[in-house]
Copies of this chain bind each other. A is one copy, B any other.
Amino acid sequence: MKDSAMYIPTYDDMLAAHTRISPYIHRTPVLTSSYLNELTGAQLFFKCENFQKAAAFKVRGASNAVFGLSEDEARNGVCTHSSGNHALSLSYAAGRRGIPCNVVMPCTAPQAKKDAVIGYGGTITECEPSTTSREAVFAEVQAATGGNFVHPYNDPRVIAGQGTCSRELMEQTGGVDIVVAPIGGGGMISGTCLTLSNMAPETQIIAAEPEQADDAYRSFKAGHIIADDAPDTIADGLKVPLKDLTWHFVSNHVSDILTASEDEIVEAMKITWKRMKIVMEASSAVPLATILKNKDWFAGKRVGVIVTGGNVDLDSLPWIN
């Protein structure tokens, strides 16, 4: 039996995940915009995970992990460390199953995210905003609770769950030539690779990353994982590094990684709010930013765009000073 951290999830794992999580997630809509099609010259299909439960695709992987536990495994609940959408999503899924969820969050995390975790029934233990503190506090919490650790992305259950998103996208669109998704730790991209390499191997997979947190881009070019210490970008869901499991998928199945500047990300974010009338977070705007920057690459193509989430602080928008 393989060590679970090294287990590579399969297409069948994704199919099983989809059956398992479908009572707890939305089959989110795919939206189009004639304005953005004209602007880019491509035919864009936006898979709107900002309308997902907890307003993020991460509820797919979190739900797959939570509802895949045996009664025995679930007894002590789940635990994780995350300052973002995984914390909300795991709290939501655990709440639906009625088991405890312990989340280690940096004390600097936005109050809105903390409130959302608590609103879904999660318990927060705060740490300092450093890797050392997070790991030490998380070890204590896990030892004290005995909870099942659900990593935000480097977990085969999570990747299999995220893969359900592009399965729906392909069903809803009848197929696309390219899928573009943001890349941070690589959970969504890995799930996309898992699904499309089986379901539609001719479909190109492009990862989109902030220039200011381009560790995946540099890893991809170098052929090995490069992890930055503390990159700073408005796309706050994309600051974390690749890990062994996500590197496996990225290095084997991603066609290319494109990057965008902070200004380009904000511009793409604002244009979707203005023209599509949807609220997406900065991380979700990185794919459109790279498409707008590389129009020749996408012109004439059918392009799936994963809108990963919609958790935004409405009191502090990046285009308003």
Contacts and interface: CB of A to CB of B under 8 A. Distances in A.
Interface string A255-290: 000000000000000100110111110000000000
A310 B276 CA distance: 9
Contacts of A310: 277
A155 to B, nearest CB: 26
Contacts of A31: 51
Contacts of A55: 277
A43 interface: no
The quantity of this chain's copies bound in the complex is 2
A274 B320 CA distance: 17
A277 B278 CA distance: 6
Contacts of A51: 31, 276-277
Nearest to A307: B277
A19 B315 CA distance: 43
Nearest to A31: B51
Nearest to A33: B51
A317 interface: yes
A144 interface: no
A95 interface: no
Interface in A50-86: 50-51, 55
Nearest to A50: B277
A29 interface: yes
A206 to B, nearest CB: 24
Contacts of A29: 29
Interface in A1-56: 29, 31, 50-51, 55
Contacts of A317: 314, 317, 320
Interface in A149-181: none
Nearest to A281: B277
> Taking each of A50, A277, A280, which has the highest tally of chain B beta carbons within 10 Å of its own beta carbon?
A277
A82 to B, nearest CB: 20
A214 B320 CA distance: 32
Contacts of A279: 273-274, 277-279
Contacts of A315: 319-320
Nearest to A271: B314
Contact of A278 (B274, B278, B314): B278
A13 B177 CA distance: 44
Q: What 7 pairs across the A-B complex have the smallest Cβ distances? A: A277-B310, A277-B279, A50-B277, A273-B279, A274-B314, A51-B277, A273-B314
Interface of A: 29, 31, 50-51, 55, 270, 273-274, 276-280, 310, 314-315, 317, 319-320
22 contacts: A29-B29, A31-B51, A50-B277, A51-B276, A55-B277, A270-B314, A273-B279, A273-B314, A274-B279, A277-B278, A277-B279, A277-B280, A277-B310, A278-B278, A279-B279, A314-B317, A314-B319, A315-B319, A315-B320, A317-B317, A317-B320, A320-B320
Given A279-B279, A314-B317, 12 more contacts: A31-B51, A51-B277, A270-B314, A274-B279, A277-B280, A277-B310, A278-B278, A314-B319, A315-B319, A315-B320, A317-B320, A320-B320
